[in-house]
Amino acid sequence: MAVRGDHHGRMKRTDKKGAPKGSGGNKRGLRAKGPTPKAENRPYHAAYRARIQKERREETQAAQRKARAKRSLIQVRRGHQLIAGRNPVLEALESDIPVTRVFVAGNLAANKKLSLLLSKASAQGAPIVEVPRSDLDLATEGAVHQGVALEVPEFEYTDLAELFENAEKNNTKPLIVMLDGVTDPHNLGAIVRSAAAFGASGVVIPGRRSASMNVTAWKASAGAAARLPIARVSNLVNAIKQCKEQGCFVLGLDGGGTSSVRESGLADGPLALVTGAEGEGISRLVKENCDLLTRIEISSDVESLNAAVATGIALFEVAAVRREKAAEN
């Protein structure tokens, strides 16, 4: 407590302390509170309220769709997918995709294309279920189904050991294609197709940050997914180490690579070929576990190739080297 005099000379008590001088070593400095949250994450901002309302609308719409689907006679099993429409169904059947059931609505006998679809499905042993068109509308959530839909099961992955067994069965040196962060199912399907075409033992994908072998990937593989083992692993780095234990050299496709696949001198031996996503490339940990980084020579006018194209070229180089070595022997 301080004592001060007023302008009449009288003493006056006050509880006000003297102003601190400077920062005062005993005073706490200002602490940073971190970056300002985005508007949509601030509870009192209009953008936050708009986001919450949008999320609630989406939840309501999803619940309504689920309720409508429950009223349908078509109950798609968990993990299975529906392919709707005459052309998509025909493409799926021609690509040897496994079929659980075929749902049809309307008079199909008068339609030659649908009759062909039914013949193909019957040849695969898939049961044909006649349903009301309204049920097909509900099950496909309003998609243009043209009176026909396929139910396809969840893809069955294998383990890494089976890829080496596949190489031994075919009396070939292991050639394992490993994908790091390839999230586009079209690219995945195209890579599976190239791997089958150039004699790979199989393809490895991680369980996270990767496309899965869904309907889109299956169709892009043009049926190769039915013939080539595809392994799904929990940790790609550990899978790379297992490949090394099996005697494989691990080549990573990277724009900063020191040589081409052919120039590496490793194409003729047991090999694991790692491809990353376009743009991001191979992740740091995966790159550190590769024995050698290789590149594909392209024009300086082109920044990069997508994962499917790059993998296809690398596999072609491996196949070419192996054919040449076989001819020499």
Q: Is the pLDDT of residue 287 over 90?
A: yes
| Cβ neighbour number for residue 166 with a 10 Å cutoff | 18
Contact 170, 244 (CB under 8 A): no
81 pLDDT band (50/70/90 cuts)? confident
pLDDT of 5-35, one tens digit each?
555 555 555 555 555 555 555 555 555 566 7
Residue 16 pLDDT:
53
pTM across the whole model: 0.68
Q: Which domains does the chain have, with CATH numbers?
A: 69-152 (3.30.1330.30), 160-328 (3.40.1280.10)
The C-alpha angle with vertex 236 and arms to 201 and 186, in degrees rounded to 5, equals 65
Residue 322 per-residue DSSP state: H
The predicted pLDDT at position 161 comes to: 94
Q: For position 104, what pLDDT does the model report?
A: 86
- Residue 163 banded pLDDT, cuts 50, 70, 90: very high
Dihedral angle computed from the Cα positions of residues 38, 39, 40 and 44, in that order, rounded to the nearest 10 degrees = 130
Residue 307, judged by CB atoms within 10 A of its CB (0-12, 13-18, 19+), counts as: buried
pLDDT digits (tens, 9 = 90+) for 171-188: 999 999 999 999 999 999
Supply the pLDDT for residue 150: 86
Question: How much is the pLDDT for 272?
Answer: 97
Q: Is the pLDDT of residue 313 over 60?
A: yes
Measuring CA to CA, which residue among 294, 287, 289, 299 is closest to residue 314?
294
Query: Which two structure tokens, joined as six digits, stand for 104?
Result: 């049809």
Is residue 231 classed as helix, strand or coil in its secondary structure?
strand
Residue 70 has pLDDT above 80, yes or no: no
187 or 299: which leads in pLDDT: 187
Give the alpha-carbon dihedral of 237, 238, 241, 246, to 10 degrees.
-130
Asked whether residue 169 carries a pLDDT value surpassing 80, the answer given is yes
Determine the Cα angle at 252 with ends 251 and 258, to 5°.
85
The percentage of residues in the chain with a pLDDT greater than 70, rounded to a whole number, is 84
Residue 328 φ/ψ, nearest 5 degrees = -65, -30
**Helix or strand holding residue 180 (H, E):** strand 175-180
**Span 224-244, mean pLDDT?**
93
Give CA–CA dist 93/115, Å, rounded. 13
pLDDT at 147 over 90: no
The mean of the pLDDT values for the chain is 82
Angstrom distance (rounded) from CA 90 to CA 229: 24
How is residue 131 written in tokens?
A: 């349903």
